A and B are shown apart, each in its own frame.
Chain A
């Protein structure tokens, strides 16, 4: 075994142990420890990406002493490594840029506990990216839910507690459905590892066509993960949890937690069930329709909002719709579009949440559009970041969102007539709707003020640097998109 093949295992372990360490560290030390660990894991993931890319093959890491059909495994290919890089870069920047808000929003004696949940959520995210075992995925799915819930309720306000409760109720429903699907799958096949499962499904189960229990199991797992990631009719928990948490929590929830579930769903579709079989079960059609509904309803509701963070939350519903629409197209190109959207949306949405927090900070703490007039002049870094994020979300060239729309339209052209018409129409309509609410906000931010605005606090230099890094990350993803797309394509080919 080569040295770099230990990297995924050690990054997971480092994250879990630093969660334990943070719980006993004093407040200041924990506040330094958690971002440093995130940084170390980012470096490890970059190293892993470079090595996997040069080696050109995925590898399997056996956990414990039992070999394949019984033991537990970690598997890493190019796509997993790239995803870990992007996710941990977002996490690091979110914690640094939102640091000032963290100090104010969370009671001093609870701040090291916040770092504990941060590390736990990071560990769960890594396991969902790397694991090769479905039941391990379920266990860490629940750890992710617990971590995310604690991230929301870190602030002790009535609305945050209620948002956390609502989050928990729908997420428990999602986990329950996922577990039921998983148990059903285990009952039919007797396997939990992804490769033996795939082999069994291809050679034994599908010999005499699709059976009802198998379809049911796939449907239950997809529904469970769709509920947890906030797909359209199940998105009711989403706006409150994003709006009332502290900005770093909102950034991490929208960019990492939801995306982790979708990444797991993609892994299950491609590695366990096989895309051909998924198409035959008809689940693609359901995901396509729900994704389309999400795109329309998310944008239409976002237009009606008066609060900037609520508007961004509803735009998340629309953007998650794009991901599911890409999966629902059922082709390789659609999948590449969906995965690129996971990255592009993650990078842009966390930046939007944090910059919105900075903008309302310099406007007397209010998030209402009325009070945000001219905020772009009061805090240039946040204004620029919001503008870049808004451009990316509306799909203006040279930004990540544009590449997503190109990839999805290409994928739509290759799909059947009905899907092509529906997807292209949706992309056009949603572009108009996104422009309506995002560019309206940008114009509000740079409007001359009629009266002198309420004097708010200044933003810290960490926030400004964080925003600059976020802008650079977004521009890089938009301008140098081709290497990323190639990496995703290579990663997907390593899945089989």
Chain B
């Protein structure tokens, strides 16, 4: 068990990062901290993907010196997935931040419980 962890330390770190981000996204009351938690969660997943695609001793997947054998290069697909994932999470973060700005302008607080209380009072 522990031997597995020390060999796959990148994956282990990625899962820990994912867990920290998940807990922050769920448990923090401050909206900005929630968004930071979301960012950490996604970074954990990207680290996991990047470590899957990496082959020790292999080069970047661009043909060099006419070597065409696959074993000379790392797997390019996870890199592509990470890039796509980053684009997705940037757009999601932008939307979340825009929502937070609108909520802050309206209620002058970032605490989601307080915002809930204020919005209920406003409706009455």
Interface size class, chain A: 20 to 34
- A186-214 to B contact mask, C-beta < 8 Å, 1/0: 11000010000000000000000000000
The verdict on A139 contacting chain B, using a C-beta distance below 8 Å, is yes
The verdict on A135 contacting chain B, using a C-beta distance below 8 Å, is yes
A169 close to B34 (CB less than 8 A):
yes
B49 close to A158 (CB less than 8 A):
no
Give complex CA distance A150, B92 in Å: 11
B106 close to A161 (CB less than 8 A):
yes
The verdict on A179 contacting chain B, using a C-beta distance below 8 Å, is yes
Q: Which listed residue (B45, B81, B95, B103) contacts A135, Cβ 8 A? A: B81
Q: Which listed residue (B38, B91, B99) contacts A165, Cβ 8 A? A: B99
Q: How far is the CB of B39 from chain A (nearest CB, A)?
A: 10
Chain B residues with CB under 8 A of A384: none
A146 close to B49 (CB less than 8 A):
no
Q: How far is the CB of A73 from chain B (nearest CB, A)?
A: 15
By DSSP majority rule, is chain A's interface helix, strand, loop, or mixed? helix
Chain A residues with CB under 8 A of B21: 176
Q: Which listed residue (B18, B91, B119) contacts A176, Cβ 8 A? A: B18
How many A-B residue contacts, CB cutoff 8 Å? 83
Chain A residues with CB under 8 A of B48: 180, 183-184, 187
- 25 A–B contacts, CB within 8 A, in A order: A135-B81, A135-B84, A138-B88, A146-B92, A149-B95, A158-B107, A158-B123, A159-B123, A162-B103, A165-B99, A168-B92, A168-B96, A169-B25, A172-B25, A172-B92, A173-B25, A173-B26, A176-B25, A176-B38, A176-B41, A179-B42, A179-B85, A180-B18, A180-B48, A183-B81
Supply 6 further A-B pairs (C-beta < 8 A) apart from A142-B91, A158-B107, A169-B26: A164-B99, A168-B99, A169-B25, A176-B38, A183-B48, A186-B78
| Chain A residues within CB distance 8 Å of chain B | 135, 138-139, 142, 145-146, 149-150, 153, 156, 158-159, 161-162, 164-165, 168-169, 172-173, 175-176, 179-180, 183-184, 186-187, 192
| Chain B residues within CB distance 8 Å of chain A | 18, 21-22, 25-26, 31, 34, 38, 41-42, 45, 48-49, 52, 77-78, 81, 84-85, 88, 91-92, 95-96, 99-100, 102-103, 106-107, 112, 115-116, 118-119, 122-123
